[in-house]
Structure 1
Amino acid sequence: MREIVTLQVGGFANFVGSHFWNFQNELLELAEDPEADPVFKNQDLNMDVFYRYGETYQGTPTYTPRLLSIGLQGSLGSMSSCGTLYNEGSSASSSVMTWNGNVSTQASEPHKKNLFLQSLYAEEQENDIQREITDRDIVQCLENDVQCWTDFSKSHYHPQSLYELSGMWVDAQKFDNYGIGRDSFCGGLHGEEISERLRFFVEECDHIQGFQFIVDDSGGFSPLAVDFLESIADEYTNVPVLLYAARGPGSLMDPLSQKHRISRKLHDAVSFSRLSSLCNLIVPVGLPSLSRSKASNFLCIKDEKPYHCSAAYAATLHSVSMPFRMELLGPSANSSYACGALTVNEAVQMLSGQARQNMVTILDAAMPAPSLTGNQVKQTLLGSLQPLTPEISDHVEDLQSVASMTVHGVLGSGGQRASISEVKDMVHSAYEHAITRPMFCHLSVAQCPLPIPLPFPSIFSNHVGQHGEVLGTPIIGSPSRGSLDVHTIPMAGRLRSSSAVLPFLENRLGDLRKFGFARGGVGAELLRSWGFAKDESEDMAETLSKMILELNPHSQMSSDSD
C-alpha cells in the first residue's frame, strides 16, 4: 500500500480541498453506478491511496479521506467538527458550575444548511424533502450563496480530520500577514493537538508515500504551516512533502497604502522562503486574475468568488496527483485504462534532483484538454497547457527543464475517448517536432476523464460540450455552463521545473532586500516586529538566492551582496 496523507491549512486551501474531495467522491460513486460509463469502473486507480477504512461508533463501515483540515473557528459553517458520520450528539454545555457571578454569553447565529446540504441530508435519510429540491435549484443556490468550503462539500470526514483553531476570534480580512499569524499561534496548544491528529492518520498507514500539503500562504496561516512542517521534518524524516502554496485572486490585490504594500511584499518573501526550505517540492498556485488568463480560454470564472477559482485549481491538482494512485503494473502488464504510475518520492526526485536542486515547480493546466483530431493536433495539446503559477516568463528556452505531465479522458476521432497508445504517440510526436523541449518529460495517461459533480460551479463557457469537447459554434443561451450541462472534462496537467520561474523568485528576493534590509526603514522594523532578527532575514535571502543560482548561475540577483 502507498498511502498519501493530505493536509489543508487555511481558508482558500480548504476551498481547493473541498472541490478535490468532491471529484474523488464522484469517482467512487460512478464506479458503483451500474448505469455509469464503463471507464469509471475500470479506472486502474487505487483510491485507498487517499482514503481509509473505518467504522462509526455504531459499527457502520466508513470510507473517508486520509485528511487533516485546519481553519479558523467558525470556518466549518453548518458542519460539525466531528464531521457528519461520527457525531455522537454531544453538547458543549456542562452541568458542572464553577462560577457564581454574573455570566455574559455572546453567541453567533448558527450557519444554516443551504439547499445542497439539505438535499444531501434528505437523500441519506430517505426523506421526502429531497424530492422537492431540484438540481437546478441547488446549482442556483450555490452560485449565489457559498460562504464556507463546507457549503459545497459532498464528502464525509473523520472526526480527526476537521480542526478549528478554537479561542481565536480573528477577522479573516485582518489575518493577512506573517506577523499576525506568528503572534496568534505562539505559545498555544494547537501545535501538539494538530500533530496528534496527523499522527493518527500516519500510524495506520502500511507504507506512506508522502504528504500532499495545500496551504493558503497569503496570510496568517503561513507561520502555522511552517511550524507544522518543522514537526513533520522532525518526526517523519524520510517522508517527502509536496506542497501547494495556493492563493485566491483577492489575496493578490495591491493594498492602497504604502505601508500595507510593503507588508504584503515582505510577507510574500518571508512566507515563500520559510515554506520552501521545509518541503521537498513547492508549487505556487494562484494567478492575480484567473478570469483574464490564458488558462481560462474556455472558462467563465468570477475572480471574486473563491468557489469559482478554487474549482479550476482543484481540477488540476486532481490531474497531477493521478499518477500517485495509478496501479503499479509489472513489466509485462499492459493496461488499456492508465499508465505512467509514480510515487510522490519519484516525482520529487525527478523534478528537483536532476542536474540541479530546483525546489520550486510550475503548475500548468489545459481545462478542458483539446481532442486529438484536427490538422494542428501536434501543437494543440502542448500549446493548450497554460500556467497557474504567477509571475513566470512565458517564452523561455530551458534545455535543463524537467516535466511530469498527466493527460486523461482526452477525446479522439468521432468523439470517442482516445486510447492510451494514441495519446502517448501524439505527445511524443509533438515533443519531437517542438522547437525546444525539456531535458526529460514523464508522461502519465488515463482514459478516465474528470467527472463534474453537482456542486461544481458554472464556470464552463458555451463553447464546452457535455463531455468537455470544444465546440466550433457556441451553444445558444447562458454564457456559462455547469454540472447540469457538462458531465465530464478531458484534462491535462503538468508539473515542470524550469528557469521560467525565475521572475517569481527574483521578485521575492528583490523585495526582501529592498524593504527588509534598509536600515531604519519601515520594512526592517516590520520584520523585527514579526520576530526576525537581522541574521534570520539574511538567511531567508540566502535561501532565495541559492534557488535562483541553481536555475541561473549567471543571475545578478543571486550574486548581489546582502
Structure 2
Amino acid sequence: MATREILTLQFGHYTNYIGAHFWNTQELSFDYTGLKKTEVNHDILYREGENGKGETTYTPRLLLADLKGSLKTLPVSGGLPEESDPDHLEWENVDKVEEPAPQKNQYLVDIDSEGPAAAEKTYNFEEEVKTWTDFIYPRLHSRSVNVIKEYNHGDENEGFDIYNSGTALWKHDFGDTFSDNIRKYVEECDSMQGFQVNFDCIDGFSGMAMGCIEYLADEYTKPIVAYPIIPSYFPDNNPSTQEERDKSNLKDSTRLVNLALSLQALSEHATLFVPLCTSEKGWRKPGNPRSFEYINYNPQLYYHSSALLATAIDTLSQKYRHKSNIHTMSDICADMTGYGRKMAAASLGMPFALNESQYLIDFLNNTTKPIYTSLTPSCKIASDKLFQLITVRGIPESYLKAPLKEAKEQMNLPAYRCNSVKEMFELYFQASNFLSATNVTVCEQPFELKTPYPQFFSKDLNKYGFVASDSSQERIESCAVVAGYHNGNFMADTIEKVHREVSRIQFAKLHKFRQEGLEAADYKESLDKLAEFKDNYEDDFEL
C-alpha cells in the first residue's frame, strides 16, 4: 500500500509550541513491543534515514521556522547526528567556536538519559517551560530547524511583527534555503498526499508562511491544508496606563491587519484553511478563553493552550492518517471546500466525558449541549445547513448500549438499533443537524495523555478520562475526544467580522507596513478581495 506522505511546515513561536505537543503525541505513541494495536500509519508523517554514524533514524517529515534566540537548548541540527547528504561537503581540521549551551531542565536531562521512562515522572512544566524546546521529546532531522537570524526572539524594539517583513525575507536567502529543503523532502516521497502548514498569522510569520504557500501552490500539484493560528494571550493584553493602552491598541491593529492579509492570501493559494484559537474573539484582544468541561487550563500559558490545539490537529488528521480509512487530504479538501468555500471551522470536545457507568446511547439522548467547542475565533458553528467531517476516538464499543436483557427504556430509542459507535454518532448528527451532511470517522484508541502533556484535568475523571462515580485519585492516562471540520453559510459572519474590523483602520496610520513596502492600493485590493471571498458563503445552500 502507498505511504501517502505528508510534509508538515511550522512557522512561528506559538505554532512551534503546538508542534512540540503534536510531535510528542506521535513519538510517545510508538510501540516498540509489537503488542499494541496501532491504528495510525506513522510513515505518513515520519521518514526513515541514516545518520553520519550509520545508525537508522526515524524523524518527523518537518520544516519549522523560528527567530534567533528561541531555541534555547535545542541545537539547530535538531539534536541528532547529521545524516549523510550527497550535497554536503565534508571539511576536515575545522575549529568550531560555539557559545555555551543553555542549561536543560530536569525533563530534558531525564529524556536524554532515560528516554520514554521520563514519561513516568512528575515535573513542574507550568513554572519551567519558557519556550517550546523546554518540553519537546523527539529529536529532529538536521534540516528541520530553520532560524531567522535577522530578528531576535522577544525583541520589543525590532520585532518581527509585520506581514510584509515576512514576505520580504521569503523572497531572499531564507526562502531559497527553505524551498530547497522542501524539494529534498518531496523527492524522498513515493506517493505524497500534500502539505500541512501551521503558522502564526498575527506577526511576520504570516507573510513568510504565505510566501511559502504561494510557492507550494505554484511548484506542486498537491493539496495544502493550512492552519492560521492566533495565540491565546499577548503580554500587552492587560494595560494599566494610557501609554500602555495606546501601545496595546497599536499592536492589536497590527495583528489584525496581518490576520486579514493572511486570510485573503489563503483564499487564493491554500486548498483548505482553518483558523484556530482557544479564545472566543481572536482579535482586538483574544477575548474570553473557550471553556472545556473538566479542564482547568491557564490561557496565559502557551504550554496549556497549545496542547488543546495540538490535540485538535492530531485528532482531525486521523482522517487521512488512519490505516483503515481510505480518506486522503484531497478527499478532505474536496468534501469541505465546495462553492469556493476554502475557509472552514474546527471544533474540539475534550474530554468526551461519559460517566464511567453510563452508556453512549443515554449520553447522546439526554445531552442538551453541543458535544464540541468551536476553536475558530469569532465563530459560532451552526447546527443546520452545514458540511462536517467528525472524528471520534476512544469510546469502547462496550459503552455503546446495554445488553438486550438490561436495555429496558433504551429499547424504545431508535438508536438502540445501532450496532457500532460510528452508526450511533451518524444517527445523532442526522437528528441534531438539519439539512446537513456529516461524515464520521471512529478510532478505537483514545488520546494518550503522557508526560509532558499538561495535567489540567478535573479530579472527577478516572484514568480513562470518564467521569468517576466517586472522586478519583488516579492520574488520568487517556481520554476520549471528538473533533470536527465544519463549513457552511455561518462562516460568512466570521469573515464579515474580520473585514468590518480591519476596514476601520486607516492605512495612513500603518506606518510600519508602509515602511515594509505595503502600498495603499494593494492594501485596499486585499480588503476588497476578502469581502468578495465572503460572498462564497452567502449563496443559497444546497446539498
| TM-score > 0.5, shorter chain as reference | yes
- Please say if 1:152 is aligned against 2:143: no
Larger deviation, residues 281-290 vs 362-371: 281-290
Q: 2:514 aligns with which of 514, 520, 528?
A: 528
How far is 1:27 from its partner?
1.5
- Taking the aligned partners of 1:323 and 1:139, their CA distance within structure 2 comes to 33
SS of corresponding position for 1:62: strand
Correspondence for 2:41: 46
- Please say if 1:191 is aligned against 2:189: no
Q: CA RMSD in A?
A: 3.3
Unaligned runs of 5+ in 2: 84-89, 240-244, 281-285, 404-417
1:125-204 matches, within 5 Å, as 135-136=120-121, 138-140=122-124, 142-171=125-154, 175=159, 177-179=161-163, 181-182=165-166, 185=169, 188-204=172-188
How far is 1:84 from its partner?
2.1
SS of corresponding position for 2:57: strand
Q: Which amino acid aligns with 2:32?
A: E
Larger deviation, residues 288-297 vs 159-168: 288-297
- Please say if 1:440 is aligned against 2:455: no
Change in 2 beyond 3 A, CA 1:526/1:164 = closer
Q: 2:457 aligns with which of 431, 442, 460?
A: 460
Correspondence for 2:81: 86
Correspondence for 2:32: 32
SS of corresponding position for 2:39: coil
How far is 1:94 from its partner?
5.8
- Taking the aligned partners of 1:316 and 1:221, their CA distance within structure 2 comes to 22
- Taking the aligned partners of 1:93 and 1:308, their CA distance within structure 2 comes to 46
- Taking the aligned partners of 1:7 and 1:412, their CA distance within structure 2 comes to 36
Question: Deviation string for 1:144-199 (max 9, x for gaps)?
Answer: 11112121111121101111112433535563632573487276411101111111
How far is 1:53 from its partner?
0.8
Q: 1:363 aligns with which of 334, 346, 366?
A: 346
- Taking the aligned partners of 1:309 and 1:73, their CA distance within structure 2 comes to 23
- Please say if 1:277 is aligned against 2:268: yes
Correspondence for 1:498: 488
Does the Cα contact within 8 Å between 2:76 and 2:145 map onto a contact in 1? yes
- Taking the aligned partners of 1:391 and 1:134, their CA distance within structure 2 comes to 37
Change in 2 beyond 3 A, CA 1:25/1:352 = same
SS of corresponding position for 2:317: helix
- Please say if 1:321 is aligned against 2:317: yes
Q: 2:55 aligns with which of 51, 54, 60?
A: 60
Does the Cα contact within 8 Å between 1:403 and 1:438 map onto a contact in 2? no
Does the Cα contact within 8 Å between 2:352 and 2:481 map onto a contact in 1? yes
Change in 2 beyond 3 A, CA 1:76/1:300 = same
How far is 1:271 from its partner?
2.6
SS of corresponding position for 1:348: helix
Change in 2 beyond 3 A, CA 1:175/1:376 = same
How far is 1:381 from its partner?
10
How far is 1:44 from its partner?
3.2
- Please say if 1:377 is aligned against 2:375: no
Figure out how many residues of one structure are paired with residues of the other and give that number.
500
Does the Cα contact within 8 Å between 1:392 and 1:502 map onto a contact in 2? no
Q: Which amino acid aligns with 1:123?
A: E
Does the Cα contact within 8 Å between 1:407 and 1:491 map onto a contact in 2? yes
- Please say if 1:234 is aligned against 2:218: yes
Q: 2:525 aligns with which of 539, 552, 557?
A: 539
- Taking the aligned partners of 1:26 and 1:77, their CA distance within structure 2 comes to 22
- Taking the aligned partners of 1:65 and 1:357, their CA distance within structure 2 comes to 32
Does the Cα contact within 8 Å between 2:464 and 2:476 map onto a contact in 1? yes
- Please say if 1:350 is aligned against 2:318: no
Question: Deviation string for 1:399-433 (max 9, x for gaps)?
Answer: 2x2111111111455699x9x95211211221232
Correspondence for 1:515: 505
